[in-house]
Amino acid sequence: MVSSMARTQGYISGVENSGMLNSIPLPTNAVFGTDGIRGKVGDLLNAPLALQVGFWAGVVLRNYATVPGPIILGQDSRNSSDMLAMALSAGLTAAGLEVWYLGLCPTPCVAYLASITDAIGGIMISASHNPPEDNGIKIFDAQGGKLSKALQGEIEAGLRGQLSPDLRINNCGRHYSRPELIKTYSQSIQTPLASGLTLEGMKIVLDLAWGAAVGLGPAVFRSMGAEVICLHDQADGDRINVNCGSTHLDILQAAVIEHQADMGFAFDGDADRVLAVDNTGRSVNGDYILYLWGRHLQQKQQLPDNLIVSTVMANLGFERAWEQRGGKLIRTAVGDQYVQAEMQKTGGMLGGEQSGHILCSHYAMTGDGLLTALHIAAVVKEANLSLGEMVDQSFQTYPQILRNVRVLDRERRLGWESCQPVQQAIAIAEVAMGDHGRILVRASGTEPVIRVMVEAANAELVHHWTNELVAKVEEHLA
């Protein structure tokens, strides 16, 4: 079965590498988005594509590896994750690589194990906070960081039949089940807190979103001494993220109040992000988490240049309060990979997103919901205050509205900036608000929506201009 795609020069499993790529329809836009490859299973994302991604990721990662090593492979609880895992593993082993398969685990577990073992990279199968019918493929390098745009581009060139690697694969790789490695990650996120600090006396509610943290989340908090109450704590591919987790805090808020808990934490499907609820049932987003953790690190002189890296979504109230403490906030494009890149560029040790992706380079190379939750709980315990009191003493957010407009046409969605009526509406709104507010319109890299965000000191301005801009987007793009 030989395709018209440029051939490699070796044999895979005794069969000449056909790639089988020409039978896979690919979009004209880039396959890789802001967080790997993501989409509805059965459309772009299917077993033939995953097989090809596994093969070309294996080729590219091996070409850049200094020494041979395995690939770490993990997944969340979605019904499609098993299928994609097997297809990816088939592609990776076809490229001659050894696969260490973890099974169900959080995304940061894959990144961490890639960084501390001889692995040449890691792959996580998850669509994070997306609904059950979606899935995704996230690829990490040997240091546990998100794969660079350049290497993503090489993999995509392979998918599109534009690479003809000069290689000979005489032997297939092997697939090994290695779930015991997850314990190493679990220990790693607890060890920094082990110097006499426990969470004893604290009652904490965890919303595990039927996802990747259902096993580890309760275990690590109980190991640290906390009393734990769990919500949505079974692996359920039909219900992952459905009306629960970090995108739906209402059930967690009610549970915190009902159980008179000290706080609650809500994770997304792959547990690389977290949002909190304080003891009064009030939501605590990533801006507050960054401020509280940043202030803690600042007081311990562990925050170089008092710098926090966040995104264009960070609230103005957060930014101005942090500046009043002598701090500096750098904004990046939305996406934890951009935050991570800016942290590496500037030497920043703390960064993240309002949505709950938090990176602290003292402890991890990528966003980690469980690690962040443990540290925030520890910060509260050490301060001898309630989380609600700490939030009250931090800052007041500016009124902000974020609306999603569903735009199913991918090319129209990603090319929205060429729509003149929408651009004119944005310009009018920006002039009208002046220095008292800001506007952010962008196409989501993970969902088929255009996001419209308006923020201002005056709530009436926020509502008015949000409605105006959403109406323009719906009229000309939806």
DSSP-assigned letters across all residues of 176-234: EE-GGGHHHHHHHHHGGGTTT---TT-EEEEE-TTSTTTTHHHHHHHHTT-EEEEES-S
Distance CA 21, CA 10 (A): 17
**Checking DSSP bridges between strand 99-104 and strand 37-40, what pairing results, if any?**
unpaired
Distances (CA, A) of 396 to 276, 291, 298: 17, 12, 20
List Cβ neighbours of 274 (8 Å cut-off, separation of 6 or more). Answer: 246, 265, 266, 267, 268, 289, 356, 358, 369, 370, 372, 373
> Tokens representing 193?
């807190």
Q: What is the DSSP string of 387-416?
A: HHHHHHTT-PPPPEEEEEEE---HHHHHTG
- List b or e across 176-205, with b for residues whose CB sees 16 or more CB atoms inside 10 angstroms: eebeebbeebbebbbebbeeeeebeebbbb
Which residues, listed in sequence order, are joined to residue 309 by a DSSP beta bridge? 330, 351
Q: Which two tokens stand for residue 384?
A: 């001898």
Nearest to 179 by CA among 110, 236, 225: 110
Q: Are 366 and 107 in contact (CB under 8 A)?
A: yes
From the list 126, 128, 186, 394, the catalytic residue is: 128
Two tokens, residue 79: 């019904």
Q: Is 223 a catalytic residue?
A: no
Query: Rounded to 5 degrees, what angle do the CA atoms 244, 249, 250 make?
Result: 95
* Residues assigned a catalytic role: 128
